[in-house]
Amino acid sequence: MAKQRVVVVGNGMVGHRFIEYLLESPAAGQFEIITFSEESRLAYDRVHLSAYFTGSTAADLALTTREYYRDKGVNFVLNDKVISIDEPNKCVVTQSGRREPYDKLILATGSYPFVPPVPGKEKEHCLVYRTIDDLGRIKVSGSQSKVGVVIGGGLLGLEAANALKGMGLETHVIEFASRLMAVQLDDGGSKLLRRKIEALGVKVHTGKNTREIVEGTTCRYRLNFTDGSFLETDLVLFSAGIRPQDELALTCNLGVGTRGGFTINNNCKTSEQDIYAIGECAAWNNQCFGLVAPGYQMARVVVSQLTGGSEQFLGADMSTKLKLLGIDVASVGDSTARTQGARTYCYNDDFAEQYKCLVVSEDGKLLLGAVLVGDTEDFGNFQQMMLNKMALPANPQGMILPGIEGGKVGLGVDALPDTAQICSCHSVSKGSICSLVQSGTTSVAGIKAATKAGTGCGGCAVLLKQVVDAELTKLGVEVSNSICEHFAYTRRELADLIRVNRIRTFPEMLNAHGKGHGCDICKPAIGSILASFWNDYVLKPEHVGLQDTNDAFLGNLQKDGTYSVVPRIAGGEITPDKLIMLGQVAKAFNLYTKITGGQRVDLFGARIDQLPAIWKLLVEAGFETGHAYGKAVRTVKSCVGSTWCRYGVDDSVGFAIAIEERYKGLRSPHKLKFAVSGCTRECAEAQSKDVGVIATEHGWNLYVCGNGGMRPRHADLLASGLDRATLIKYVDRFLMFYCRTADRLQRTSVWLENMEGGLDYLKSVVVDDKLGLGAELEAGMAAVIATYQCEWLTTLENPEQLKRFRQFVNCPGKDQDLAYVVERGQRRPATAEERKIALVNLEE
């Protein structure tokens, strides 16, 4: 039998996917494929088009190659537009005059950017954002421009704005409607998005209609708006929506939808025999779909139709989750509450910059849609809930409110039916993922490779992992969270084993519960747990090998192998004499000196063999170690407080010092930082600390689990209006509870976020003592406090220990490879280049 000729017009994302599906089908051999594109390249990833501005090349974006098509026998013609369909003779005609007969014709012509009929729109630097060539033009124009305007504040417009901003242009967004992303977001979400975008320096103008584009005076062009106002710009980017590319309909009487697009039925067939339409150019029920996933579904349907199957296209979910200018935005289902009788729950947090809104049915039983701005973690859950018509919990508000009674109501993936589509880009259902897991594909990476799930827009990644983990758990496979290859336990489990069995050393632990020799992960972790509970001197011979170099030498290792010296300066308070002493020591050893972000002084560049002499002077002057090297209590920052400050409510310095003295030396899963402010002006930044204390007229407020660093987190209020004794009691309990239950290197912020029941649970343990652990936790802390020692003092008193601070065990001497140069009056390590020029060793 002769092969059927399948002609695909348009080699965009969907046209190409159709070809792939057809090639993958068992009936592939029955077809001869030829595809036309008016673009100069084969299909590429339009969804990630903007990556072209951040370093991706056309080759990176390519979805296929010429070699691949040739290999598979796919014929392709580039740079040639199909201009008409000769339906009676079953062939297409191209611009270059080529006639190509077909048995089946697939239209996959996509969309084109709509440019409103504004006079001046044809000017040289008025551009659109759809193809790689468009982006090339934008790059050229951008490099000759200072100001850029995007006309259209929809999803693509904001993406385009990001690109302009990335090129360093002063960027404006003009939107005709009264709000940004009017299609996907409600008022509240849109407002927050606007605020965030403006905070990034992009100027947003809503409710503006552009009348004309004329020559400018300060810039290349000037936009005159219908309200009489104007804006000068060098570049104009139109992003006022897309229109289905359906011009071919006119050439052969194909039916089109009321808002354009080739009309298709559930089989994706147009009004004409043997002609199908897929992707953005198709109108199903008068609706065009401007996302790639529905297009892929249509492609699948047509392949099914051509190969004797019966798959149908029955509409598609238009929920979207994306990052616009770095801001997380998601909309689910009927996000703007257009459904008759729809009601909403909204939560807006201007401080955390988060907005969440649920749209529910009139009877409050079903989730119809949602808007998420700032935090889109729940996108997958909400989408599934909406799509699968799952019953809402009794208090739907719990799904968006942070930390209300019982913690956030989540949707367990267990509740999802097997038919639930987890990845809509690649039509992968929960059932198919679960059966893969059951047949041995137990990693997310494996599932991705086998099904492509998660490799499209990426929006399903969180959900995918949840499904895999849940299935593994169901199968009784422990989702491995072993700390390393030597111990099949989490840090929390290790801590329990050590505490309950009163284990005192690493070898004891390894013999009883581990295997192998240990490593740089489990040794310091167990060293830290031993220290949290028994508080032995960390450099005892049986512990010394467990310590990271910082702990082993009681200093922070620097890039050149020297160490830094940070004495404790409790609360940041220091007498002039001690300050002078610090200066003298620094001078004597020529140490680079810097004030730290933790209100103390850091002395850098101490050689290992100098550390004891430096610390001897410091200890004699009354300093103690600052534990800057340990996963331990670091600093308690303070503001000057009521003693001097005219607003101070209470003595923040005094209390900060008392707290630092109490907890100094406490070893913990990760470092701990505290602060005390004397009033709500909060000059000590207590709400960014693990433990933050703020004085109020009614007593001290206690905040916990704040974090600066890589992922800042605002602290939560644990209790308010406390007296000093109660506050200390709560902090004792809080810290010990953390030391016992947190994971290795887990700051209190992440610990709380992973705690079942969240803040309420933490309160119930620490404040209400619901578990009855209070007294025990306090006793644990009392034991640590009672065994405090300044590790440097202990070390200096122990000649055996001091031997470890020799550079060489077999001779005196120092590391000869150290080299320094002077900068701003102090020395710093020489760079590799400087070393090449001359070895400038300033020591002596």
Ligand X SMILES: Cc1cc2nc3c(=O)[nH]c(=O)nc-3n(C[C@H](O)[C@H](O)[C@H](O)COP(=O)(O)OP(=O)(O)OC[C@H]3O[C@@H](n4cnc5c(N)ncnc54)[C@H](O)[C@@H]3O)c2cc1C
Interface with ligand FES (CB under 6 A):
423-425, 453-460
- Work out how close the CB of 602 gets to ligand SRM at its nearest, in angstroms, rounded to a whole number: 5
- Work out how close the CB of 652 gets to ligand SF4 at its nearest, in angstroms, rounded to a whole number: 6
The CA distance from 669 to 524, in Å, is 10
The CA distance from 678 to 623, in Å, is 26
Using a 10 angstrom Cβ sphere, with 0-12 exposed, 13-18 middle and 19 or more buried, the burial of residue 201 is exposed
- Work out how close the CB of 576 gets to ligand SF4 at its nearest, in angstroms, rounded to a whole number: 21
Q: Which residues pair with 603 in a beta bridge?
A: 565, 593
State yes or no: residue 564 binds ligand SRM (CB under 6 A): yes
Angle in degrees, CA 809, 814, 820, rounded to 5: 155
For another protein, the closer CB: 231 or 483: 483
For another protein, the closer CB: 473 or 549: 549
The answer to whether the beta carbons of residues 547 and 527 sit under 8 Å apart is yes
Q: Which does 561 bind (CB under 5 to 8 A by kind): another protein, ligand X, ligand FES, none?
A: another protein
Determine phi and psi for 540, rounding to 5 degrees.
-50, 145
The answer to whether the beta carbons of residues 733 and 774 sit under 8 Å apart is yes
Look at the chain and count its residues: 844
Site for ligand SF4 in 658-687 (CB under 6 A): 677-679, 681-683
State yes or no: residue 726 binds another protein (CB under 8 A): no
Site for ligand X in 233-252 (CB under 6 A): 245, 248
For ligand X, the closer CB: 280 or 716: 280
Site for ligand X in 44-63 (CB under 6 A): 46-47, 49-50
State yes or no: residue 258 binds another protein (CB under 8 A): no
User: For residues 574-592, b (16+ Cβ closer than 10 Å) or e, as one string?
Assistant: beeebeebbeebbeebbbb
Q: Which does 279 bind (CB under 5 to 8 A by kind): another protein, ligand X, ligand FES, none?
A: ligand X
For ligand X, the closer CB: 248 or 705: 248
Quick one: which of 362, 813, 837, 842 contacts another protein (CB under 8 A)?
Answer: 813
Between 527 and 546, how does the x/- string for binding to another protein read (CB under 8 A)?
Answer: --------------xx-xxx
The answer to whether the beta carbons of residues 197 and 327 sit under 8 Å apart is yes
State yes or no: residue 114 binds ligand SF4 (CB under 6 A): no
Quick one: which of 46, 196, 486, 713 contacts another protein (CB under 8 A)?
Answer: 486
- Work out how close the CB of 752 gets to ligand SRM at its nearest, in angstroms, rounded to a whole number: 13
State yes or no: residue 628 binds ligand SRM (CB under 6 A): yes
The sign of the dihedral angle between the CA atoms of 590, 595, 601, 604 is negative
The CA distance from 306 to 625, in Å, is 77
What are the residues whose beta carbons fall under 8 Å from the beta carbon of 686, sequence distance 6 or more?
A: 637, 674, 675, 676, 677, 692, 693, 694, 703, 706, 715
- Work out how close the CB of 844 gets to another protein at its nearest, in angstroms, rounded to a whole number: 18
Q: Which does 594 bind (CB under 5 to 8 A by kind): ligand SF4, ligand SRM, another protein, none?
A: ligand SRM
Token code pair at residue 220: 């290349």
State yes or no: residue 596 binds ligand SRM (CB under 6 A): yes
Q: How far are the Cα atoms of 209, 543, 667, 793, 795 from residue 537, in angstroms, in the given order?
A: 73, 8, 11, 11, 9
- Using the rule CB under 6 A, give the single segment among 4-12, 37-45, 590-598, 764-772 that binds ligand SRM: 590-598
- Using the rule CB under 6 A, give the single segment among 349-357, 470-478, 594-602, 693-701 that binds ligand SRM: 594-602
State yes or no: residue 511 binds another protein (CB under 8 A): no
The DSSP element (H or E) to which 149 belongs, if any, is strand 147-151
State yes or no: residue 654 binds ligand SF4 (CB under 6 A): no
Q: How far are the Cα atoms of 50, 167, 324, 662 from residue 54, in angstroms, in the given order?
A: 7, 10, 14, 50
Site for another protein in 466-485 (CB under 8 A): 485
The answer to whether the beta carbons of residues 447 and 433 sit under 8 Å apart is yes
Residues forming the site for ligand SF4 (CB under 6 A): 639-641, 645, 647-648, 652, 677-679, 681-683
